DNA sequence: CACGCTTACTCGTATAGACGAGTGGGCGAG
DNA sequence: CTCGCCCACTCGTCTATACGAGTAAGCGTG
């Protein structure tokens, strides 16, 4: 156990009324911000810090748990505590559903990821009829049962997004939309072929901490929120023809919208 | 110290390899989800749970700290641990900058809050010239110095949003935009009067955990992420005339956008 | 050389105890 | 009755200790 390089971290201020574990967290946070520790780099071990600051281990662990909650670091059992690297972000533009983007055969996700040089994957495909939740029913205009299309998106092996599309049965049943692979251009292309020319989308965005299920599905590190996006697609007759409920790892996304200044 | 009502919480499973503090957190989470504890209601005290489960206090505290990280509960020193109430959310529509919404005298924030029956407030007003950050400079087209307008928004006494507008000096200096109160219709009205007719806005949205500064400024509870929104306003000549950097308490907002299906 | 075991180091979980500090109700003095 | 104090209860901070379990490097054996 090598002692900490002197100067890397300072001392505690016993006169301060700031709790010791907060002072330690402050020092580590500042060192990270200043680039003394780089992305992915290992921080001093708990034992190192116990020696350096002369405190008990629980105090050091408390300090680390603060930084974890802030999403700054993550611990790996048996290895150490590391500065959490910022993963590459996926940029979602507001014109991503424009007709011109409906490529042949491949989904927007695949096309875009290929272009960015990363390896895209879609799994957990599930297509089935089910009872509409109260919220989905309200958005689709009081439908009882819906077709649900569930899928998870991964980039370079990392899950980044989990989405479920809900469609009224009278529109989707017996059409390619009810097939696992709906064909080129995705379900929006199919909807238009079925006579539902798309007019506009409405997107609602929230951010919150993930549920335990979401942590598992998206393999989220501590201190990573999720972006919850609910999109409703309207056809030219003003009918809501699809609701898509998406949960995204917030550290993997930047959403981008263009608004007219009308 | 009254014993816990039997049936409210179950027992631990000693054969499970799930950690005890996680099992306790699971039980509390489920009880909250099922409505056994309502919003704002007090959960059993640490001492109660120590007795009920026959574990040490740190184990119970670990369980609570998980739930805090999930934003489900919050602790109040000397009072107890409570189910975190969901505050009323502010809905931001994508047409909120439309010209027709530029009311006389009052800002959009005030008008909207009044309409919703809550008490709006704006403070921390600061208007000054400063050096542009690298990011702001890039967005505004390589300007060195900018006019920065900082303000914090509160609803019913609770801070919900902290925003800074940056404008190029050659546009803003010496105009009402450089005054604390820019007058009716806000700075967008002034920009148009100055010949910069607004064409469109671009908004970038991220979500992440707050920095300690943001926690203080927005008085955020544990487990509440922030929404970071960066808006750039473009005039009809394609010039970026303002960048607005906004940090919002994520539990107080729903963003809503309308997209054409062009 | 290759494989497997040992070992040191890492974080994870849990116990027991101590003191501090904020809150709020109750009780006693005036 | 009212005010102020006290006390019980609450969470916050910190120490000290123990064992478990994952990781990786090194060493010894075949």
Cβ-based burial of B169 (10 A; exposed 0-12, middle 13-18, buried ≥19): middle
Q: Do B136 and B78 belong together in one domain?
A: no
A2 domain-assigned: no
User: Which residues fall within 8 angstroms of residue A194, CB to CB, at 6 or more apart?
Assistant: A171, A175, A177
- DSSP lists the bridge partners of residue A163 as A151, A246
Same-domain status, A170 and A67: no
Do residues A101 and A56 share a domain? Answer: no
Residues of chain B with pLDDT under 70: 1-7, 103-105
Asked which of B83, B100, B124 is the last residue of a domain, the reply is: B83
> Long-range CB contacts (< 8 A, 24+ apart) of B140-147?
B140/B166, B140/B168, B140/B240, B140/B243, B141/B168, B141/B239, B141/B240, B143/B168, B143/B169, B145/B169, B147/B172, B147/B173, B147/B177, B147/B178
Across the strands, what pairs with A123? A152
**Rounded CA gap, A123 and B73, in Å?**
34
Spatial CB neighbours of B59, under 8 Å, sequence gap ≥ 6:
B20, B21, B24, B53
**Helix (H), strand (E) counts: chain B:** 8, 10
Q: From the CB of residue A148, how many other CB atoms can be counted at a distance below 10 Å?
A: 21
Residues A98 and A226 in one domain: yes
Q: What angle do CA B35, B41, B45 make, to 5 degrees?
A: 110
Asked whether residue B123 falls in the same domain as residue B217, the answer is: yes
Tokens 């709906």 locate to: A182
Total count of residues recorded for chain A = 262
Would A52 be classed as within a structural domain?
Answer: yes
- Which residue in A69, A188, A234, A257 has the most chain B C-beta atoms within 10 A of its own C-beta, making it the best mutation to test that interface? A257
- Map tokens 């998980």 to a residue: B66
pLDDT, block means (10 residues), chain A with 262 residues: 66 91 98 96 97 97 98 97 93 85 75 85 91 97 95 94 96 91 88 94 97 96 97 96 98 95 82
Residues B79 and B158 in one domain: no
**pLDDT of amino acid B105:** 66
Is B113 within the bounds of a domain? yes
Which domain CATH number covers A47? 1.10.10.10
How far are the Cα atoms of A25, A71, B160, B225 from residue B219, in angstroms, in the given order? 19, 18, 9, 12
Distance A82 CA to C6 C1' (A): 27
B177 lies in a domain? yes
- Looking at the 3D structure of chain B, how many domains does it have? 2
Inside any domain, residue B163: yes
Note down the domain range covering B125: 90-256
Angstrom distance (rounded) from CA B166 to CA B102: 20
What pLDDT score does A155 carry? 93
Instruction: Tell how strand B253-260 and strand B90-93 pair up.
Output: parallel
- Minimal Cα distance from A33: which residue of B? B211
Q: Could you tell me whether strands B158-168 and B240-249 are parallel, antiparallel, or unpaired per DSSP bridges?
A: antiparallel
3-state secondary structure of A48: helix
How many Cα neighbours within 13 Å face the side chain of A82? 12
With tokens 């629980």, the residue in question is A58
Do B140 and B79 fall into the same domain? no
**Both tokens assigned to B37:** 């504890």
Decide which of A32, A61, A83 is a domain's last residue: A83
Which of A83, A110, A138 represents a domain boundary (last residue)? A83
User: DSSP per residue over B77-99, as a string?
Assistant: TTTEEEEPPPPPPEEEETTTT-G
3-state secondary structure of A76: strand
Both A166 and A48 in a single domain? no
Q: Which residue of A has its CA nearest to B22?
A: A212
CATH number of the domain to which B214 belongs: 3.40.1410.10
A258·B202 Cβ contact <8 A: yes
Asked if residue A147 and residue A32 are part of one domain, the reply reads: no
Q: Read off the tokens for A155.
A: 């980039």
In a domain, B5, yes or no: no
* Residues contacting A160, CB < 8 A, separation 6+: A90, A153, A154, A218, A248, A249, A252, A253
Q: Does residue B155 sit in the same domain as residue B233?
A: yes
Distance CA B200, CA B97 (A): 10
Please give the structure tokens belonging to residue A107: 């989904």
Footprint of strand D on the protein (CB under 7 A): A 19-22, 54-59, 62, 76-79; B 1, 43, 45-48, 57-58, 61, 64, 75-81
Q: Is residue A14 in a domain?
A: no
Paired with A254 in beta bridges are: A91
Q: At what angle do helices A20-33 and A57-69 cross, to 10 degrees?
A: 50
Tokens linked to A254: 């930047």
Same domain, A79 and A129: no
Whether A114 and A238 map to the same domain: the answer is yes
Q: How far is the CA of B21 from the C1' of D16 (A)?
A: 21
Q: Is A208 in Cβ contact with B225 (below 8 Å)?
A: yes
Residue A192 lies in a domain: yes
User: Which nucleotide is closest to B54, CA to C1'?
Assistant: C15
- Nearest Cα to A26, choosing from A47, A9, A49, A40? A9
């Amino acid at each position: 156990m090598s002692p900490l390089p002197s100067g890397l971290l300072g001392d505690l201020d016993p006169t301060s009324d700031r709790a010791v574990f907060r002072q330690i967290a402050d020092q580590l946070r500042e060192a990270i911000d200043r680039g003394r520790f780089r992305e992915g780099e290992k921080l001093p071990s708990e034992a190192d810090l116990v020696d350096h600051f002369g405190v008990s281990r629980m105090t050091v662990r408390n300090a680390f748990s603060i930084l974890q909650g802030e999403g700054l670091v993550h611990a790996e059992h048996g290895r150490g505590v590391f500065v959490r690297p910022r993963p590459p972000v996926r940029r979602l533009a507001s014109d991503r559903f424009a007709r011109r983007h409906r490529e042949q055969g491949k989904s927007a996700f695949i096309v875009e990821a290929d272009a960015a040089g990363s390896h895209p994957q879609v799994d957990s495909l599930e297509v089935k009829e089910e009872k509409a939740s109260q919220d989905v029913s309200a958005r689709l205009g009081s439908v009882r049962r819906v077709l649900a299309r569930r899928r998870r998106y991964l980039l370079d092996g990392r899950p980044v997004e989990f989405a479920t599309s809900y469609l009224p049965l009278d529109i989707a049943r017996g059409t390619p939309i009810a097939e696992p692979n709906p064909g080129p251009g995705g379900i929006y292309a199919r909807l238009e072929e079925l006579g539902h020319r798309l007019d506009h989308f409405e997107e609602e965005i929230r951010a919150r901490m993930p549920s335990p299920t979401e942590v598992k599905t998206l393999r989220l590190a501590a201190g990573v929120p999720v972006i919850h996006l609910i999109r409703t697609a309207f056809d030219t007759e003003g009918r809501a023809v699809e609701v898509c409920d998406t949960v995204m790892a917030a550290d993997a996304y930047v959403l981008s919208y263009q608004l007219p200044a009308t």
